[in-house]
Structure 1
Amino acid sequence: MTDPADSPAVRRLADWDAPTLESLAEEYETPLYVIDLDRVAENYARFSAAFPDADVMYAAKAHTGNAVLETILATGGDIECAAWGELQRSIDAGADPNTLQYTAVNPPDRDLDYATDLAADAPGLTITIGATDTLERLAERGYDGRIAIRINPGIGTGHHEKVATGADAKFGIPYERVPAVADRVREGFDLVGLHAHVGSGVLRDGLEEHCRALARVGEMARRVGDEELEFVDVGGGYGVPYREDEPPLDLAETAEKIREAVGEIDATLKLEPGRYVVADAGLILTTVNTIKEAPDTTVVGVDASLSTLIRPAMFGSYHPMLNVSAPDRESIEATVGGPVCTSADVFAHDRPIAGPERGDVLAIGNAGSYGYELANQFHSQPRPAEVALEDGESRVVRRRETLEDVTRLER
């Protein structure tokens, strides 16, 4: 693994080796997810090095693939989970359940059943609650263990309104109610921490507002007695530049501003990067199957779709694109879309791309975060395979689905 100090802060799509990507597409077919595990380890190590006195937990929801979780654990990292399935997958990857943190958001009964059963044999498991209802439901299950309170600071940040969780009533205890809830937790549980997650995809432009929210978290920690808390968890949300002209997050500046915002606390600071660790470590390879000249654009049809990567349709997200078959060919303005029967199934509008031809392989960058996690089977499309790169070798870590996989549960 590259030393964190020598590892570049961002890996642009152009930094990937085009011939290698084209050979992967030929060997494993498309659409194809590619995840570089060496880059995952580098990103985690670089983030951790910026916060040497903090506990850094990987937010599993960004990419729960077994190979990714195993890589995080091999670096010495811990894992934060948002659902029972993520808890189980972390354990399957080798995590000690005593090190896991479960952030319950309106948890179904099966989630709480699983978590409390797990905690019976793993008392180190921490459950983060965002509603007093959850406390009652935990008590009904005989749980009296480690609890963290999720704060709603009333300030949300991030790349899209759908991820600005810090101002969304769905998430966390309303700010002024936290002291009373802390007293209630202490009566029947072990209050070990406070938690907040303000938003997702934060870069320098959103850092000031992000830190304004974290200042409220630090203030609340001192109000409820930070000297009695084990940790104050300020969540994740640290972004990567999706657009080619966006600068990467300055981690040294970010760490300094976060420490300053939270202020003096006796508890350990915790952070939960997810996107930062895996986004630029992954991409999608897709093959051009259609070229159509339209009055206002050239439509380039590919075999990936919104069932492969839904972020552009869901969030209007920008993902860089590269023609890896002919990166030096003269560029044209192209609209790139997939085979799904909706106008939302478009990856790029009027984007300069090196003149695509039928059979060319295109790469869609920054797909390591919330890419495969949100993949689906719309139009009865089997989900793609995923190939991992590590130490110069490639291997399939998730096989391509078949139509039989899609229909299996109907039988």
Structure 2
Amino acid sequence: MTDFADSPAVRRPADWNLERLERLADEHDTPLYVIDLDRVKENYARFAAAFPDADVMYAAKAHTGKAVLEAVLEVGGTIECAAWGELQRAIDAGAEPNTLQYTAVNPPDHDLDYAVDLAADAPGLTITIGATDTLDRLAERGYDGRIAIRINPGIGTGHHEKVATGADAKFGIPYEQVPEVADRVREEFDLVGLHAHAGSGVLTDGLEEHCRAISRVGEMARRVGDEHLEFVDVGGGYGVPYREEEQPLDLEKTSEMVRDAVGELDAQLKLEPGRYVVADAEVILTEVNTIKEAPDTTVVGVDASLSTMIRPAMFGSYHPMLNVSAPERGPIEATVGGPVCTSADVFAHDRPIAEPERGDVIAIGNAGSYGYELANQFHSQPKPAEVALEDGEVRVARRRETLEDVTRLER
């Protein structure tokens, strides 16, 4: 395995250059996303080194920013997409269309039209189906190309019930129906692989259940004839520790357990890390605007909100925080929330943080995965800017939206 001793297995907010972060907040205003593309490349390379014989595809849905996709492609990664827009953005970033994999989940007509049109000129494109309806709709469009079957293994794993896809009927062909579906695909299309995704945010102590789901995929591959498949794709879901006391994913142990779970296969192993590649490569910088003493807590108001990052409101997610302006101050327990008019707009309750003052900059860590992807315009708030760090340089990867951007489609 490649030695990444000089690259920490997880980057905490305190590991960033705090003076630089404060300068960026001053120069580019807040709230501000800061993505470290060097870290993205390190994370992808570290994961790929743990699976040297596998095809490691980056799951674009974690962060589809062009700068991130370009960084993954630069270090030899391929890209897995879950919607037509991600396919287009991957191509715009420089991906070879023949290397793309499109995982269709209840795909709208427009998505299928786009994928079929793309495959006409890029026959190497793989479409992963999770319902026989999708096969019918592809056949109606004259498609007879590469198909992977998404299996529902009946076992869900991950950090939250809303991401435990392996046990959710929405995702994949029911396990015992797969052989029959495989026969049909072989008759009408080109069956190239099997696919499953058990869930997201799996750390070392959750590997056993995760691998129990993966083992079912290996069993099904042998049952339908893995010697006739190009690949067996066990998805992603490999996590990063959001809480300070959590340990980083043990990649060496993960690699051993995943391979043991899948078992002997003639087909190539595929994996789709997303969160692992980008989560700790990005922080949100937000400015303190309000300090309010309440009977049970100190309320710290900031200019970021659930429209900046919705994960705490949507999943109850924990994100580490650091007072970048004065990390040496004594800590207080604070409730940190934004300007959106709902009690869900809170990043942390009773969180120890170096005592903030108005004007301080707070860094919210592990924001790279499903941070900007789920940003929205609630309360007519324009989306924040995103700056990218790479090879010692800083550039604006996305400009800050204006109110004109928010309203320009209205008539």
TM-score category (smaller protein): over 0.9
How far apart in 2 are the matches of 1:222 and 1:7? Answer: 38
CA distance in structure 2 between the partners assigned to 1:107 and 1:383 by the alignment: 27
SS of residue matched to 2:408: helix
> Which residue in 1 is equivalent to 2:313?
313
Aligned residue type for 1:126: T
Q: Which runs of 5+ in 1 are unaligned?
A: none
- Structure 2 CA distance, aligned partners of 1:353 and 1:6? 28
Amino acid at match of 2:351: R
What residue number does 2:177 align with? 177
Asked if 2 retains the 8 angstrom alpha-carbon contact of 1:79 and 1:90, the reply is yes
Match of 1:150 in 2: 150
Cα distance in 2, alignment partners of residues 352 and 284 from structure 1: 18
User: Following TM superposition, by how much is the alpha carbon of 1:3 offset from its aligned partner in structure 2, in angstroms?
Assistant: 6.0
Partner of 2:92: 92
- Match in the other structure for 2:197: 197
Contact 1:4–1:49 (Cα < 8 Å) also in 2: no
Shift of 1:393: 1.3
Residue correspondence of structure 1 range 362-401 to structure 2 within 5 A: 362-401=362-401
Whether the aligned pair in 2 keeps the contact of 1:4 and 1:45 (CA below 8 Å) is no
What is the match of residue 357 of structure 2?
357
Query: Counterparts in 2 of 1:7-22, with a 5 A limit?
Result: 7-22=7-22
1:52 aligns with 2:55: no
Change (3 A) 1:81 1:249: same
Tell me the CA shift for residue 7 of structure 1.
2.2
* Partner of residue 249, structure 1: 249
Q: Deviations over 1:223-244 (max 9, x none)?
A: 0000000000000000000001
User: Could you give the per-residue CA deviations for residues 202-257 of structure 1, whole angstroms, max 9, x where no partner exists?
Assistant: 00121100000000000000000000000000000000000011000000000000
Alpha-carbon displacement from aligned partner over 1:45-66 (angstroms, at most 9, x marks no partner) = 0000000010000000000000
Give distance in 1, aligned partners of 2:381 and 2:29: 15
Alignment of 1:30-109 (within 5 A): 30-109=30-109
CA–CA separation in structure 2 for the residues paired with 1:3 and 1:90? 29
Mapped to 1, the partners of 2:270 and 2:222 lie a distance apart of 16
Letter aligned with residue 251 of structure 1: L
Aligned mates of 1:368, 1:282 — CA distance in 2: 5
Shift of 1:5: 5.0
Give 2:344's aligned residue. Answer: 344
CA distance, structure 2, for counterparts of residue 6 and residue 366 of structure 1? 20
CA contact (8 A) 1:5 1:46 kept: no
Question: 1:13 & 1:260 partners in 2: Cα distance?
Answer: 35
Q: Secondary structure at the match of 2:287?
A: strand
TM-score (norm 2): 0.99
Contact 1:7–1:46 (8 Å) recurs in 2? no
3-state DSSP of counterpart to 1:410: coil
1:116-155 aligned at under 5 Å gives the runs 116-155=116-155
Letter matched to residue 120 of structure 1: A
Q: Residue 228 of structure 1 aligns to which amino acid in structure 2?
A: H
Aligned-partner SS, 1:149:
strand
CA distance in 2, matches of 1:87, 1:372: 18
| C-alpha RMSD of the superposition | 0.8
Gaps of 5+ in 2: none
Structure 2: distance between partners of 1:219 and 1:169: 20
Instruction: State the number of aligned residues.
Output: 410
Aligned to 1:223: 223
- Alpha-carbon contact 1:45-1:75 (below 8 Å) kept: yes
Distance in 2 between residues matched to 1:9 and 1:22, nearest whole Å: 24
Q: Deviations over 1:82-103 (max 9, x none)?
A: 0000000000000010000000
Distance 2:117 2:4 in 1: 38
Deviation at 1:68, TM superposition (A): 0.2
Instruction: Give the C-alpha shift of residue 381 in structure 1.
Output: 0.3
Aligned AA (1:320):
P
Question: Matches of 1:93 and 1:185 in 2, distance apart?
Answer: 32
Letter in 2 for 1:18: L
Equivalent residues of 1:154, 1:168 under 8 A apart: yes
Assess if the C-alpha contact under 8 Å between 1:33 and 1:283 holds in 2: yes
How many angstroms apart in 1 are the aligned matches of 2:399 and 2:376? 15
Match of 1:115 in 2: 115
- Counterpart AA for 1:259: R
Q: Does the 8 A contact of 1:305 with 1:340 survive in 2? A: yes
Q: 2:99 is aligned with what amino acid?
A: T
Instruction: State the Cα distance separating 1:13 from its structure 2 match.
Output: 1.2
Secondary structure at the residue paired with 1:409? coil
